[in-house]
Amino acid sequence: MEPTRPTLESVARRAGVSRQTVSNVLNSPDIVKAETTDRVRAAIAELGYRPSAAARQLRTGRSRVLGLRLEPVRDGINGAVLDRFLHALTESAETRGYRVMLFTAPDDAREIDRYRELLDTADLDAFVLTSTHRADTRAAWLAEHDVPFVSFGRPWDRADAGAAADDHPWVDVDGAAGTRAAVAHLRDLGHERIAYLGWPDGSDVGGDRAAGWTAAMVDAGHDGALLRRLHARVTDGVGSGAAATADLLDDVAPTAVVCASDSLALGAMTTARARGTGLAIVGFDDTPVAAAVGLTSVAQPLTEAAHRAVDLLLDQLDGTGGTRSRRVLLAPHLVARDTSHHP
């Protein structure tokens, strides 16, 4: 007998069930009894039957694939946050039967070109945006084209408009709450003169993190003139953090410093060690580097952020969610290590 390509029909015959049952095992396994599923799966394996995924998608109209732009590797320290978000997103999506498809793009305009291409050439149910920023054209494009999406990062243009703004679904981490917690932690340890080592103006994420430190220091009774001297603004990096810390120590002699990133904090550690001072230091993002060198840092709840992002997508895809909020702002938490000490 000639070997022939196995079909749905031959699987059904081998398993002693109807074609519809085989189809159900493939497309809606939750409505088939476990014992029947096992028998059909055994027949599929024995015969080497492989249903066409494309045919299946035409039937169900759902690919169960989420698209995400993978950003280029940056300095490796801060970029680890998005890599960890990707791991959490992939795991969270998988538990709900979805998978993550990656693509790349050098900028937002090209990212939109990719959306267009992917919608033309690959079946995707939704997109996950990261690194949102002011005047972000991606969300508007997706909304106009009725493509379900969620962003990890709030729509910064509308941050001032509050809950009334007609926002798309998003999940973000409250950076201001993180630096506020860092100041509280350092004040509990006895520090009063707490500097802030942040980025130049113009970064939304940076502005959010700086605002938490400012508010906490104002609450603690410090006046504006001192706060201006305690606030350093430098581009991110270990070297720039080290130099700015040296300037701060010379100028205002802080006993502690809160940093906008672990890179800056690592620079602060280098200067403090070189000078033999006991500067207390808090970084941001709790990257692997922080854990490795004993740096206290503010940790983003990335697993929860990914889980909530998938929730918001499934609400759109399945029409569930109802009155559930489509704007999720999560509180970070502080991980105390060796650089948390008294003045």
User: What is the contact mask toward a second copy in residues 289 to 308, using x (rule: CB under 8 A)?
Assistant: x-xxx---------------
Instruction: State the nearest-atom distance from the C-beta of 248 to a second copy, in Å.
Output: 20
CA dist 39 and 196 (Å) reads 64
Among the listed ranges 149-157, 191-199, 220-228, 282-290, the one in contact with a second copy (CB under 8 A) is 282-290
Asked if residue 89 lies in contact with residue 128, where contact means CB atoms within 8 angstroms, the answer is yes
**What per-residue string of b and e applies to 126-146 under the rule 16 or more CB within 10 Å gives b?**
bbbbbebeeebebbebbeeee
Closest by CA to 265, choosing from 298, 223, 295, is 295
Instruction: State the nearest-atom distance from the C-beta of 72 to a second copy, in Å.
Output: 7
Closest by CA to 281, choosing from 298, 300, 303, is 298
Instruction: State the nearest-atom distance from the C-beta of 155 to a second copy, in Å.
Output: 24
Query: What is the side-by-side order of every strand in the sheet holding 256-259?
Result: 231-233, 194-198, 256-259, 280-284, 296-299, 333-335
Nearer to a second copy, 214 or 263 (CB): 263
Nearer to a second copy, 90 or 203 (CB): 90
User: What is the contact mask toward a second copy in residues 1 to 40, using x (rule: CB under 8 A)?
Assistant: -------------------------x--------------
List the interface residues with a second copy, window 85-114 (CB under 8 A).
86-87, 90-91, 94, 99-104
Token reading at 296: 């206290």
- DSSP letters, 236-267, are SSHHHHHHHHHHHHHHT--SEEEESSHHHHHH
Write out the residues near a second copy by the rule CB under 8 A.
26, 44-45, 48, 50-58, 63-65, 70, 72-73, 75-77, 79-80, 83-84, 86-87, 90-91, 94, 99-104, 116, 119-123, 145, 238, 263, 266, 287-289, 291-293
